[in-house]
Structure 1
Amino acid sequence: MNNMNFSPFKNLKHDLPASIVVFLVALPLCLGIALASGAPLFSGIIAGIVGGIVVAALSGSPLGVSGPAAGLAVIVLTAIQDLGFEPFLLAVVIGGLIQLILGFLRAGIIGYYFPTAVIKGMLSGIGIIIILKQIPHAFGYDADPEGDMNFIQPDGHNTFSELSYMLDGITPGALIVCAISLAILILWEQKFIRNHKILSMVQGPLLVVLAGIGLSFWFDSLPPLAISGDHMVSIPVAQSVGDFFNQFSMPDWGSFANPQIYVVAFTIAIVASLETLLCVEATDKLDPYKRVTPTNRELKAQGVGNIISGLIGGIPITQVIVRSSANIQSGGRTKASAFLHGVLMLVFVMAIPNVLNKIPLASLAAILFLVGYKLAKPVMFKEMYRKGWSQFIPYMVTIIGIVFTDLLIGITMGMVVAIFQILWKNYQVPYTFESDEMKSGGPVRIQLAENVSFLNKAGILNSLNSIPDNKHVIIDGSRTKDIHPDIIEIIEDFKANALTRNITVESIDVAGVKMENPVGEFERVVKEVSGNNAMDTISKN
């Protein structure tokens, strides 16, 4: 497909239905994250609207969807408790300014350094978490808010213990709604539906929501199956236009002198930027057209979004993989789908909040089950296993870390494993060295590789120390182009020590080799971690 075909107007028939699904998925998440953050519920709606309209308009991401993120909930909760809500909004504004500066400083380059195995582990881990977190909502047990993604939950339980507590709080009506919703979604995934000229025009998730609203009205007349408001979407209802706009808040400008404001702002900026860059990388991998998002532009868009969100009473924004993947799975093709989802949220929250408040959370749980399954399909585990342990281990570590801690810690665990593998690889192969030569009467030859970095120190030092006394050693750097100063120092130290051990050392082209520069070494390590095309991608952005 050529670039001209990615015009939002030409793809509206794909983007509009996708935007409806994203809106339905995002609405309860915005409310749930605001609740988990200790912020007013409407602040989550504001963040969702700004993330859809403002960030989508400025972003270069074709399929990414932004809004309030679960990964910031604990930070926001603590900040609001320590500062108060209005001073916290000032920290959001300043955090947005910091993100904007990071974008101009081209800090978005960091997004290209995450290994593919870790990114795929993030997608699968989030898919598993979505499924586990939605099971209680499917049974009508809604003690924890939508959007909570951490292992330890706000009520002190964890993801798995919540599955046992839910058995004491089953709501029959909600369970029926979820079962019917899942049946509709599975039916709508069948080929005969997707190939049908008329039925394929209707999104399965939209049918699910309409069915859920209809069933909730019907169950009101059947007391055993009635679904109370605690198990529904819960949007604050304004009695007038003026009342609606009264729900917006302004920052406390008098808090500029409070140093804690800047600590919170910096924390928000760094965590929100990392989450966004991770989601950008993951979204680009899910994009069926494999487009590449300009990460520096994304940081700028997120910064402007957070500035505006903080100015009008919203909580912080990041790009969110749950909404982005729902957008992709629903057939979205351009950023018009993300923009329209923000418009829909604004219009519907203003015009028909009472209707939206009749949507059972069990219906939305069914939709998220499908999103989660498509992110964590068993075929992905098989694919990563076939690629070997170097890919499978960081993939699995990332998944386990996300499921049992949270998103950022899980990603960090996967990155540590991936970096350790690179260190181990460099420890093993910075040179060629035949240990059998030490047993013969001939010289011991160490052939240095083309690039020898500081990461090779341990391997070279270990090999040099293993050479017995009374040997002739040849250190050959004739093929070497770049060598780190630390390696030169190790070789010079070995030469000095060799005099005490009756070892003669002959070095070939080692002293004359070009000393490695830090930037060149950094780029080389990046290529090993992220793939050989990483720097090419970076240079284009």
Structure 2
Amino acid sequence: MEFRSIQNDWKKYAKTDVLSGFVVFLIALPLCVGISVASGAPPTAGLLAGIIGGVIASIFGGSFVTINGPAAGLIVIIIDSIDGLGQGDSMLGFKRTLAAMVFVGVFQFFTGVFRKGFLGKIFPSSVVHGMMASIGLIIISKQLFVLIGVNPNAKLPWELYVEFPSRILDLNPEIFLIGLIALGILLFFQFIKIPYLSKIPAPLLAVIAGVALVEYFHINVSSKYNFFGKEYLADPHYLVQIPTSMKDAIIFPDFSFVGTFVFWFHTLMIYFIASLESLLSASAVDKIDPLRRSTNMDQELIGKGLANMLLGFIGGLPIIAEIVRSKANIENGAKSVWSNFFHGSFLLLFLLLFPTILKLIPMSSLAAILILVGFRLAAPKEFIKHYKTGKEQLIVFLTTIVFTIFIDLLVGILAGVAVKMFIQLVSGVKWKDYWTLNMSGDEKNGIWKISSPILFLNSFKMYDRVQKSIDKGNKNIVIDMSDAKYIDHTSMEIIDSIKEDAMKSGAKIALKWGNLKATSEEATSVKRLEV
């Protein structure tokens, strides 16, 4: 994004963007704290991420109305990194994770510099959605115990779900009541249709109600209370723990593990997931941008890289483009990057002026917020969507979830990709087809013919060549895929993306399918040759 454009946007949209930025700040405040705590990091790490994501990444990024900050989709990755690098010491694990983030930022920066941002489009979407649904289920499994004020014995997500019913009788009544009221507020506000009332951020109200109950029950002072003849603890450890001095919020990275395999494993995992989620979210936001602008994905990664490098040096969580906050940003009238900038600025002011308020936030209120976030990631509609797209996509989606829940995220991703490739190979795709694409034509006239299967691993070649045709000013582009024999779901989504990009550039794309037939009624379902 050009700085001249940013200056012009300031003149045109400053008033509306201040308002939208303030509303998003109200939404982001509890989420930044909650995501940070759920990740096993200091609460201020999430706030620093929101601040830097808004102030730095907005200026150097390539999007327009996207909100940057910590996201629930990275909770599992950060927990694993802290556990894996800390060797039993969570603070040491966090410091080593910060060191990993510095390199994540470097990798993202150079991915953008070398213009490889489009590669985020080619990863199998059923695996990505399965990964996100798994993360949602993992978040729920952990936060259910926080909601009732109980420490679990189990570690793996499936074990937590098995343990939870037997621990309900151990719940702390006051803590559970706070969480239950927060959950009720969040659910109730989803059905409110009154315009002015519906604009009040439900997560903020849930936290305010929680703070009021903390004061009422005196949970900020260690004490004991009786409930139906049983004694329970009311203690500040059920509240967010904030350092007494803001200087203590700045935590420096520990590079002592740089020479180990486990360090680079977690670095690459954070880089891969954070970059993929950012690019997918940015693409989704483009579709609802009222001014129909397109994100420069390479510049977006450069902005994220710079921000994540800085966050690694000062003690913040990694940032991505966050879809829910971005949608709220647009709904409240945002028109430019300044809304993201203002949202980060308001977070900074709050952290500097009102840090003591954060110490009164109950963990169970944040747990309620995160349980709802987890449910959205693993909502039933995701399962229905993949069922409608075709049984192949449903199998890949479910495989990713099952292996993630029972083993871990990396195994789940690899299992999902392996099953997808197995299904395609059984369907007649050859191994060499993954690495080659028979595509003839030239960028000048924009007429292309593809005579080999179009698959997730070779589809970037098609995207790159067609995009160059569009960039050269071709207004009429033809893609003949009648001899392709097989086009997978991810490639169909890329073709859909190409059509949208062409439309925004004033170009038209004609697609020739020949005898290729869709396997379901969904527009992006697999297409196969039907003789």
The structural deviation recorded for 1:127 is 3.0
After superposition, residues 67-86 of structure 1 pair within 5 angstroms as: 67=70, 69-70=74-75, 71-80=77-86
Gaps of at least 5 residues in structure 1 are 145-149, 239-243, 431-452, 458-479, 485-515
Deviation digits for residues 11-57 of structure 1 (CA, Å, limit 9, x no counterpart): 5544432332222112132244244xxxx665565445333432343
- Partner residue in 2 for 1:236: 243
Secondary structure of 2:16 counterpart: coil
Count of residue pairs the alignment pairs up? 434
- Partner residue in 1 for 2:25: 19
| Pair 64,126 (structure 1): closer, same or farther in 2 beyond 3 Å | farther
| Pair 416,85 (structure 1): closer, same or farther in 2 beyond 3 Å | closer
| Pair 273,362 (structure 1): closer, same or farther in 2 beyond 3 Å | same
The amino acid that maps onto 2:140 is I
CA contact (8 A) 1:19 1:337 kept: no
Secondary structure of 1:245 counterpart: helix
Deviation digits for residues 176-227 of structure 1 (CA, Å, limit 9, x no counterpart): 112222222222222xx3334x323322222111111111101129944874
2: distance between equivalents of 1:60 and 1:481?
Answer: 31
| Pair 137,284 (structure 1): closer, same or farther in 2 beyond 3 Å | same
1: distance between equivalents of 2:120 and 2:257?
Answer: 30
- Partner residue in 2 for 1:152: 156
Secondary structure of 1:109 counterpart: helix
Q: Does 1:60 align with 2:58?
A: no
1: distance between equivalents of 2:35 and 2:108?
Answer: 24
1: distance between equivalents of 2:428 and 2:403?
Answer: 26
The structural deviation recorded for 1:231 is 1.3
| Pair 88,424 (structure 1): closer, same or farther in 2 beyond 3 Å | closer
The structural deviation recorded for 1:396 is 1.6
Secondary structure of 1:65 counterpart: strand
2: distance between equivalents of 1:158 and 1:79?
Answer: 23
The structural deviation recorded for 1:522 is 11
Deviation digits for residues 444-486 of structure 1 (CA, Å, limit 9, x no counterpart): xxxxxxxxx83499xxxxxxxxxxxxxxxxxxxxxx98689xx
After superposition, residues 277-316 of structure 1 pair within 5 angstroms as: 277-284=275-282, 287=285, 289=288, 293-312=295-314, 314=315
| Pair 75,107 (structure 1): closer, same or farther in 2 beyond 3 Å | farther
The amino acid that maps onto 1:102 is T
Q: Does 1:125 align with 2:134?
A: yes
After superposition, residues 299-338 of structure 1 pair within 5 angstroms as: 299-312=301-314, 314=315, 317-319=318-320, 324-325=323-324, 327-328=326-327, 331=331, 338=340
CA contact (8 A) 1:139 1:166 kept: no
2: distance between equivalents of 1:182 and 1:529?
Answer: 37
- Partner residue in 2 for 1:210: 208
2: distance between equivalents of 1:63 and 1:47?
Answer: 15
1: distance between equivalents of 2:253 and 2:199?
Answer: 44
Gaps of at least 5 residues in structure 2 are 1-8, 228-232, 436-448, 466-483, 503-531
The structural deviation recorded for 1:99 is 2.9
2: distance between equivalents of 1:13 and 1:338?
Answer: 11
The structural deviation recorded for 1:386 is 2.4
- Partner residue in 2 for 1:423: 425
CA contact (8 A) 1:95 1:266 kept: no
The structural deviation recorded for 1:233 is 1.3
- Partner residue in 2 for 1:353: 355
After superposition, residues 27-46 of structure 1 pair within 5 angstroms as: 27-35=33-41, 45-46=47-48
Q: Which of 432, 454, 466 is the equivalent residue of 1:454? A: 432
2: distance between equivalents of 1:139 and 1:259?
Answer: 37
2: distance between equivalents of 1:262 and 1:63?
Answer: 36
| Pair 247,352 (structure 1): closer, same or farther in 2 beyond 3 Å | same
The amino acid that maps onto 1:105 is F
- Partner residue in 2 for 1:276: 274
1: distance between equivalents of 2:296 and 2:160?
Answer: 35
- Partner residue in 1 for 2:516: none
The structural deviation recorded for 1:123 is 3.5
CA contact (8 A) 1:216 1:227 kept: no
Q: Which of 406, 414, 435 is the equivalent residue of 1:412? A: 414
The amino acid that maps onto 1:342 is G
The amino acid that maps onto 2:312 is G
* TM-score, normalised by the number of residues in structure 2: 0.67
1: distance between equivalents of 2:60 and 2:39?
Answer: 24
The structural deviation recorded for 1:139 is 0.9
Secondary structure of 2:244 counterpart: coil
CA contact (8 A) 1:309 1:315 kept: yes
CA contact (8 A) 2:156 2:405 kept: no
Q: Which moved more, 1:334-343 or 1:170-179?
A: 334-343
CA contact (8 A) 1:174 1:362 kept: yes
Q: Which of 106, 109, 120 is the equivalent residue of 1:100? A: 109
- Partner residue in 2 for 1:436: none
2: distance between equivalents of 1:280 and 1:402?
Answer: 21
- Partner residue in 2 for 1:371: 373
| Pair 521,172 (structure 1): closer, same or farther in 2 beyond 3 Å | closer
The structural deviation recorded for 1:269 is 4.7
